[in-house]
Amino acid sequence: MEKDMTKGSPMKLILGFAVPLLFGLVFQQFYSMVDAVIVGHYLGVDALAAVGATGSVNFLIIGFCMGVCNGFAIPIAQEFGAKHESELKRFVANSVWLSAIFAVAVTIVVSLLCRQILQLMRTPANIIDGSYNYIIIIFLGIPVVFLYNMTASILRSLGDSRTPVVFLVTAAVLNIFLDVFCIVVIPMGVAGAAVATVVSQAVAGAACLVYMRKKFAILKLSKDERRWDRDYAAKLCNMGIPMGLQYSITAIGSVILQSAVNGIDSNAVAAVTAGGKVSMLLVCPFDAMGSTMATYGGQNVGAGDLERVDRGLKSCTLLGLIYSLIGLGAVFLFGKQLLLLFLDAGETQIIANAYSFIQINALFYFPLALVNIVRFLIQGMGFSRLAVFAGAFEMLARGLAGFLLVPYFGFTAVRFANPLAWIFADIFLIPAFFYVRRKMAAMLSRNREGAQTAGIEAR
């Protein structure tokens, strides 16, 4: 059911929204980890490196798709907060039209350029075929990425963060069985892991679609509301494309860094792959906080209540600080054991590099928390274009590490690349929030004055 985040305790609302979302993100990482565990143990280090070598380009493309869908949901959240039901429905309909168009276009382009991208990234010769076999299937599954992320984003914009999680958990369990079947029973190699991922996400997306059509009366659209509308589509693109580009711009830096890692050797790729899997699991709470603040900010800006936006920011920042300390402790206590899920104990040098990689990252978790909280809040307030610059700062930092530092300092520079990117982003985002806050306050003040003047003239 819908959840109105414009009333009640911000801390309780943020926790109530973020916890189910976190559960879903953890399961999403869980079935991603299952891919890596099965690939690493059944197919070997080279196969694990082959999958890992696609990580940054995967994020470049899939991140764009996810960002576009999240951006499309922002006007929906704002109209929900403003209680404008007709406008909400038209935004929903046009977001579906746009998602279909983007899904087809992106799938065609990236599938045709897939191998060339891997070659440009200097993917090692001993793993490039495996990397291609994996990522081409992921790219052919882009339509189901749009299906799940669009439907889940719409549900979250209406305050329902639980239902997408239920279907994602179901998909995660299905993915485990499909991994075993496609890799162990049917020897499909790394392609089997990709097939399992695509099929599982298709199931989750279809389930979300059926659920929202049956259970949300507010999403029952008339023939007129379902029509393509250029103005609504333009507003959606104004939110969605910058948000997608933000993911992609950030990912360009990751591609540059991945290319530098590829240039070291396949052992370095395996270390970053294993360390990255552990890190992605541990930073799920920050992702949940970010998505929560996008919906929270969107609804409360729609309601014209900036004081609640401020209170929500303070509450979520406190949560970010607390978890940063918990995550740091978890890395130092259990980091090596988590790495052994992906690597054999005999791979001592790879394990040592991967462990140092996640340790350095963990020391900078709070800057990462701020990146997610503040950036997504700015986007939820309707300033997606501004948030793109944060991605540019991250790209700059990772590009600096990839082009200048890794060639001279090797894996040591790889360890510090992500923290450097997070700090660069915060240097931009924190002042940007105060700029957005002042601009939004002035806009709301003008709107109130205009409404009062209209009321006086009517009387």
Q: Is the dihedral of CA 131, 134, 140, 143 positive or negative?
A: negative
Instruction: State both tokens at 123.
Output: 């993917």
3-state secondary structure of 458: helix
In eight-state DSSP terms, residue 180 is I
Question: Going residue by residue through the chain (459 aa), what tens digit of pLDDT does each one get?
Answer: 556 677 888 888 888 878 877 877 777 676 666 667 777 777 877 787 788 778 777 877 888 888 888 888 888 887 887 778 888 888 888 998 999 999 999 999 988 988 888 888 778 788 888 888 888 999 999 999 999 988 888 888 887 878 888 888 888 888 888 888 888 888 788 888 889 889 988 998 899 888 888 877 777 777 888 888 889 889 888 888 887 877 777 777 777 777 777 777 777 878 887 888 788 888 888 988 988 898 888 888 877 888 888 999 999 999 999 999 999 999 999 888 888 877 777 778 888 888 999 999 999 999 999 999 999 899 888 787 777 788 788 888 888 888 788 888 888 888 888 899 899 999 999 999 999 889 888 887 776 665 555 554 544
pLDDT, tens digit, for every residue of 293-329?
A: 988 888 888 778 888 889 999 999 999 999 999 999 9
Domain boundaries, the chain: 10-452
Integer Cα distance of 102 and 146 in angstroms: 8
Q: pTM for this one?
A: 0.73
Buried b (16+ CB within 10 A) or exposed e, 110-142: beeebbebbeebebbeebbebbbbbbbbbbbbb
Q: Token pair of 430, please?
A: 């924190």
Q: Which run of H or E residues covers position 209?
A: helix 190-215
Tokens linked to 249: 């711009």
Rg (CA), the chain: 22
Angstrom CA distances, 221 to 86, 90, 207, stand at 9, 8, 19
Token pair 């052994």 in the structure block, residue: 340
Q: Two tokens at 322?
A: 């607390």
